[in-house]
Amino acid sequence: MAYWLFKSEPDVFGIRHLRARPEQTEPWDGVRNYQARNFLRDEVSAGDKLFFYHSSCKQVGIAGVAEVVRAAYPDPSQFNPESDYYDPKATTASPRWYCVDVRFCEQFKQVLSLARIKAMPQITELGLVKKGHRLSVMPVTIDEWQHLYTAAGETL
């Protein structure tokens, strides 16, 4: 099992939205970056866990945990001209973009803020704090996962 960090803008789709879904499950679609796509398509597997990160909002940071319940399949939104994520160059015969299905696991009582993450001595290699910090899907090592998860559980 592998660990990941997925970013989303909570004003568009946050962990509360996932939690409120009937099956607490949702396709993670709209990834339109090749490096992130490659992680999604080639490495993210059912059973993997991910940190649900809130970006571009008041409380920037890790909001909770979800798990992958279905591995990569073609992202339907690329074929939909009505969608913001429509890609006219994508065809069903050769899809360009992929999505996975995720299910809610846990919402932290308090968002683990980016400031706190950056202040953690154990977190120096994570994409969030290094180059490529714009990547919307990034791997997390088991050590990083444990440190971050522990930090999220500590009250200030």
Partner DNA sequence: GCCAACGTTGGC
Q: Work out which of 3, 5, 6, 7 binds DNA, going by CB under 7 A.
A: 7
Q: Work out which of 125, 132, 142, 146 binds DNA, going by CB under 7 A.
A: 132
Binding part of the chain for DNA, among 64-72, 92-100, 134-142, 146-154 by CB under 7 A, reads 134-142
Is 83 near DNA (CB under 7 A)? no
| C-alpha closest to that of 6 among 70, 83, 64, 86 | 64
Q: Work out which of 52, 97, 104, 136 binds DNA, going by CB under 7 A.
A: 136
Is 55 near DNA (CB under 7 A)? yes
Q: How many CA atoms lie within 13 A of 62 on its CB side?
A: 25
CB of 133 to DNA, least distance (A): 6
CB of 118 to DNA, least distance (A): 7
Is 35 near DNA (CB under 7 A)? yes
Is 110 near DNA (CB under 7 A)? no
Instruction: List C-alpha distances in Å: 23 to 7, 17, 46, 57, 98.
Output: 21, 11, 16, 26, 21
Q: Work out which of 1, 133, 142, 150 binds DNA, going by CB under 7 A.
A: 133
Q: Work out which of 114, 123, 140, 152 binds DNA, going by CB under 7 A.
A: 114
Cβ contact 116:151 at 8 Å: yes
| C-alpha closest to that of 9 among 139, 136, 148 | 136
Is 60 near DNA (CB under 7 A)? yes
In this structure, what DSSP letter does residue 59 have?
Answer: S
Count Cβ atoms below 10 Å from residue 97 Cβ, excluding itself: 24
The H-or-E segment that residue 12 falls in is helix 10-13
Binding site for DNA (CB under 7 A): 7, 32-35, 55-57, 60, 114-115, 118, 131-136
